[in-house]
Amino acid sequence: MEFLGEIPPLFGETNINLFIPLSNPCSMGRIRKARGIKASSRMSREKLLENAEVLAEHPEKLLPVCSNECTLCILAGLKEKLKAVSAVSDSKSKLKWKMLFGNKFVKAYAGFLTIRFSDSLAVLAAVKLPFGTYSFAMRGSAPKELQLAVQHFDEPMCKALAYLGFAKKGYFFLVADDVYCMGRELKIPEAFKKRLLKELGYKLVEKEGTLTCGHDTPALVVRLKNTDFAVRVCGRCASGEINLLSRLTERILGRNIDRLFRVAFAPSYACRSRCRDCILKEFYDEEVEKNYKVGRRSDATTLQDYAKRFEEGLRRGGRQVYVVGDKCFGADAEKFATEIASNEEEKKILLKALEGTGGAVVLKEASFGKFLEAIWTERGKDILALVSSGEIAERLYDEEAKNPVEILRKAKHEFERAKVLKLLPEFRKLPPLAKFIHEIAVEYLVSGKGAAVSAITGRKLEDTKMRTVAFAFLVNFGVENAHSWQFSNEEKELGKSLGGYVSELLASRGENYRQALNKILKFSGSGEEAV
């Protein structure tokens, strides 16, 4: 019969991390009890016997690869004890003595070497670990995880189990070929860096100690404190399925590993100004880091969280700084406005609006509309007053407006229309055709030819006389050819004859405007009169 034993979590007791994702922060502890056995296969027996012969001659293979020049080696005592066991490896009785009175590691090592004198390895214990199922020969009273680690010393994941106790004193790294020891100093071995380049899930290169995707855009940075080692992944590359810190630490054995890493946001902007002191530096937020470290957020979502907090921090900071996309203009409002505005009028509004804006303005794209949205709550009413009057601004301002550009256009149009109407006579009554002519003329005087053409083509022309006058306006605006197919030959001929009267109307003011309007009504044959 076969038993698959499980290693219970001891993270709360030892506070040691080993190859377990942060979403399930439990480290591998001791195998409490092996309650079953299984018949050993020939392959299992031969592999264990071969490993025992190797260790009898080379006890150093049980040790991790030394990757640091430590003044005092944390494994110095263990090395000597293993050599002492190897020296008596040909004596079954002396090995059994070591099994009884050595330390835990020595007991496991000596017990394993005794299988070379056994007549049979008919049965083996089996244990299921997160990284596979393994068989081992139970010999003596040494902890089962140590026996497993010694007997499978050639597999780094198993070998690491032997150093759970030592992880209270030092740091160990699991690489494909072995376990690497850095002693009491947490530094990243070169062999481990090479492994990370292949296994972190991103296409990375190493630059001055940093593993980076190479893109010069805002990025998530996972940094080992007090060293030059870091991993940097930008927003374009960050995955919603990966937690970098988890993948970094899941093969590091040591105390409080995640506390030794700092997770931060690295803004990256093309500089378009000359500032004495740049404030767009690496940014850290304790709450965002905490959510990331416990595995609640991926790289992509954490980067989004950080970008949001970073922008909020800039706006609350009180220092003027203007950012558009991946460009920073510092406090240079002129350059910022030039980047966003599509014409001089927009630029003028931008510069006036910025005069009363405190803190930062951060835009995703160079858009006048996005700029208005960003400062509308703070400066919307003042911006409306720039293109209209205080009364119009007060009436049209809506703090929660979805389209500030449209409200700005409406305020400006209303203000300009009021100014135009002051120059024209007041009418007590306007018949339908007269009202149509007056509306088109006012739209032209307020917003120009394009708006007037749109006002004509965007409405239903009710009769022949209205269509004739409409064509007269199109002739005056020089766009009659583009719309001639909509009119009859008679309407076009009469419309052309009225073109001169339309020009007179658009150039007139006061009572002259009334007279010009009545001329058009008279010669169009409508019989109406504007009074």
DSSP H helices, 239-322, are: 244-249, 286-293, 299-316
Phi, psi of 319 (to 5 degrees): -95, 135
Judge contact between 264 and 283, C-beta under 8 A: yes
Structure token pair of residue 38? 């299984």
Biggest CA–CA distance in the chain, Å, is 132
**Residue 120 to residues 144, 402, 492, Cα–Cα distance (Å):** 20, 82, 113
Burial (CB count within 10 angstroms: exposed 0-12, middle 13-18, buried 19+), residue 457: middle
- Using CA atoms, how far apart are residues 273 and 327, in angstroms rounded to an integer? 10
Pull the structure tokens for residue 64.
């991790």
Q: Which residues of 336-362 are buried (b: 16+ CB within 10 A; e: fewer)?
A: bbebbbeeeebbebbebbbeebeebbb
Cross-strand pairs, 134: 127
By CB atoms closer than 10 A (0-12, 13-18, 19+), residue 101 is exposed
The pLDDT value given to residue 34: 42
pLDDT number for residue 38: 58
Quote the pLDDT of residue 14: 34
DSSP calls for 44-64: HHHHHHHHHHHHHH-GGGGSP
pLDDT computed for residue 28 by the predictor: 38
Q: Quote the pLDDT of residue 41.
A: 63
Check if the beta carbon of residue 433 is closer than 8 Å to that of residue 526.
yes
Predicted pLDDT of residue 248: 87
CA gap 245, 422 in Å, rounded? 70
Q: Which amino acid is at 211?
A: L
User: Residue 525 carries which DSSP code?
Assistant: T
pLDDT for res 364 = 85
Q: Tell which residue, 37, 241, 249, has the closest CA to residue 135.
A: 37
Q: What is the pLDDT of residue 35?
A: 44
- Are the beta carbons of 374 and 332 closer than 8 angstroms? no
pLDDT tens-place values along the chain, 531 residues long: 222 233 333 222 333 444 333 333 333 333 334 444 455 566 688 889 999 999 999 999 999 999 888 888 999 899 999 999 999 999 999 998 998 887 899 999 999 999 988 766 767 888 888 778 888 888 888 899 899 999 999 988 899 989 988 888 899 998 888 999 999 988 888 889 888 888 888 999 998 889 999 988 889 999 998 888 999 999 999 999 999 999 888 888 888 888 889 999 988 877 888 777 777 788 889 999 999 998 889 999 999 999 888 888 877 766 788 888 888 888 888 999 999 999 999 999 999 888 877 678 888 889 999 999 988 888 889 999 999 999 999 999 887 788 999 999 999 999 999 999 999 999 988 899 999 999 999 999 999 999 999 999 888 888 899 999 999 999 999 999 989 898 999 999 999 999 899 999 999 999 999 999 999 999 988 888 888
* Total Cβ atoms within 10 A of residue 514: 19
The per-residue pLDDT for 27 is 36
pLDDT, residue 102, reads 76
How far is Cα 525 from Cα 30, in angstroms, rounded to an integer?
A: 106
Q: Please, are residues 251 and 200 in contact by the beta-carbon 8 Å criterion?
A: no
Please count the CA atoms within 13 angstroms of the CA of 229 that sit on its side-chain side.
Answer: 16
Helix (H, G, I), strand (E, B) or coil at 189: coil
